[in-house]
Amino acid sequence: MLLENAVSRQLISDVPVGIFLSGGIDSSAITAFASRHYNGKVKTFSTGFDFDNGHNELPLAAKIAKQFGTEHNEMIIYGKDVVEIIKTMVRCHDEPFSDAANIPLYLMSQCVKDDCKVILQGDGGDELFAGYPRYHIMAKYSKYKLIFSLLHSVKPIIPFKYIKAKTERFYPLFDNQRTINKFAKFLTEEVKDNPEDVLSTKIKSKLISTSPFNRYNEVEKEMNFLTDDVQKLLWIDTQIILPDQFLEKVDKSTMANGVEVRVPFLDNEIVSFALSLPSDLKVKNGVKKYLLKKALDGILPNEVLYGPKKGFGVPYQNWLRDPLKDFMNEIFYDEDIVKLGIFNYQILNTRINEHITNKKNWGFSLWKMLNLCIWIKAYDVTFE
Average pLDDT, the chain: 89
Residues 122 and 252 in one domain: yes
pLDDT digits (tens, 9 = 90+) for 66-107: 999 999 999 999 999 999 999 999 999 999 999 999 999 999
Residue 118 lies in a domain: yes
Beta partners for residue 261, in sequence order: 119
Q: What pLDDT shows up at residue 194?
A: 82
Residue 324 in this model has a pLDDT that exceeds 90 = yes
pLDDT tens per residue, range 205-220: 888 777 777 888 889 8
> In the structure, how many helices (H) and strands (E) does the chain have?
22, 7
133-176 per-position pLDDT tens digit: 888 888 887 787 777 777 666 655 554 444 455 566 666 667 66
Q: What tens digit of pLDDT does each residue of 137-148 get?
A: 888 877 877 777
Ramachandran angles phi, psi of 185, nearest 5°: -65, -35
- Residue 222: domain span: 133-193+215-233
The answer to whether the CB of 251 falls within 8 A of the CB of 261 is yes
Summarised one tens digit per residue, pLDDT across range 234-258 is 999 999 999 999 999 999 999 999 9
What pLDDT, on the 0 to 100 scale, is given for residue 210? Answer: 77
pTM (2 d.p.): 0.91
pLDDT of residue 160: 47
Structural domain includes residue 334 = yes
- Determine the Cα–Cα distance for residues 292 and 308; give it in Å rounded to an integer: 16
Tell whether 111 and 241 lie within a shared domain.
yes
Judge if 13 and 82 occupy the same domain: yes
CATH (domain of 81): 3.40.50.620
Contact 20, 120 (CB under 8 A): yes
25 and 117 share a domain? yes
Q: Where are the beta strands (DSSP E) in the chain?
A: 17-20, 43-49, 71-77, 118-120, 260-262, 283-284, 287-288
Q: Write b or e for each residue in 68-104: b if 16 or more Cβ atoms lie within 10 A of its Cβ, otherwise e.
A: bebebbebebebeebbebbbbbbebbeebbbbbbbbb
pLDDT value of position 373: 97
Q: Which of 244, 276, 305 is the last residue of a domain?
A: 305
